[in-house]
Structure 1
Amino acid sequence: MNTFEEQVREDVERALREDVGTGDLTAALVPADRHAQATIICRESAVICGRPWVTEVLRQIAPDSRATWFLSDGDRCEPGQKIVEIEGKARELLTAERTCLNWMQTLSAVATKTAAYVKAVEGTAACVLDTRKTIPGLRAAEKYAVRCGGGKNHRMGLFDAILIKENHIAAAGSLTAAFKAAQETKSPVAFIQVEVETIRQLEEALAAGVTMVLLDNMSLPDIRAAVKVAGGRCSLEVSGGVTYENLRDYAETGVDRISVGALIKDVKAVDFSMRFQERPVE
């Protein structure tokens, strides 16, 4: 598994191959010795996210540039607020512009939405988590953005934790059989979680010794009943059918966790702009 720094570098390399290819034909029209100052501003209220990726874009495209940041990831900005000033060669900054903004607009969108969901459950015992419903190739970045927004990460992928879902249960023959097989695995796992759809399945899970249960697409009355049946013997997570409008209702049932795919898969890009001001060659 890559380190965070390695993942950021690979993300940026892939993005630049996609955008720059064999070279920036338009930026080449600018004199090579021209310097410029660029400022990234945000046009709306948002939670900022993407600084490591912007920094890496500049490292790869404009290694001699100098960036002065006014906000850190996780900070909230207001419309028109200055996020970062960058000084360097004009050609390089022009080439870096769109890739920098793409990372900022995408990751800030996830962080901003997550922050709204986290605020909606304040005062309850529930925390808000993401899911594996991510853009292929951007999972680490998007899950980082969830953390910047105050949310928590569910498993990173299929390799670090076990989540026994409906089809696993069907294939194994029963919930109990699937859970027993999971307990016997030799691979290191962060947790073993079992998905249930009915109170009866919850009772079977508890009898088998399951300590993490996912309540899948259950109604509010059934979730309240599940909390009573569990009686604190396992952690309970809600998934499926959760919206911003009903999030608080789910949180107030007494569950421990609420996973929301929309934190990542249903966001609107935050509006950022990079403005250039020429500087005379010294």
Structure 2
Amino acid sequence: MALSNGTRVSYPNNTADPFYEFYVGPVEAIKCWDFENSQAEGWTNTSDWQVAAPEGLSNDPKEAFGGNLAFGIDLTSDGAYRDRATATAESPEIDTGGSEFIRLQYRRHLAVEDGVFDQARILANGTEVWSNFESPTDNGGTHHIDKEWVFHDVDLKAQAASGKIKLKFELQADEGLAFGGWTVDDVCVVRASGVGLTCGNQTVDDGESCDDGNRVDGDGCDASCSTEGGGCCSASDGVEGALALSVLTFGMVFWRRRRKSAP
């Protein structure tokens, strides 16, 4: 991408998270927050989290992803998270209705030091489901700096087994360098559906015509849980069917040869 001053930049532009991601398949929202009512309804958070219009401070976004407001750490003072502190925002408990395929989908604008020094985490029911990049060496020079709003999808299937989900965004900082920390928008817990999720579970679910417990072609039920056709001669035709086909084929060849040799 060429900027007006002639500078060229490439996106995504985050060495700690160098790829875009997207989710393919239908989802149904169970609970969402867009924060446009000036509050994080039901959330419990430390005092440094706020719902506000971002101002682009300390690598924060310059505006919300959708609407005017977002939820994040110090969006209006100097923008940076505090040294030697842990900042948290925890959602209310969400009833997933017994659904198995639960996911977190939201927009993220995160600026945090390398995980060697500062740790940004997402927890579901107290279990870590995502964290920022941590360098394998102690010098830790790969900071996570989102330079745009990015879509982030997190699988919560294991944590949703209890039928309820509680989310927590957390940032634990050391005494050194500090950036803008978490800013989130359009946070949703969703229920995923589709044949790709259930095929192979030995139950014929919606959208499937068969399910033999695997995703292998050639066994009568193909890898997408659709019944495989038998072609011209299925196994049920038996020896008689195969013999009849052979006789018919021989007869056609013989007739064609006789016709060709006729004067």
Structure with the bigger percentage of strand = 2
Higher CA-based Rg:
2
Normalization by structure 1: what TM-score? Answer: 0.27
Determine which structure has the larger helix proportion and give its number.
1
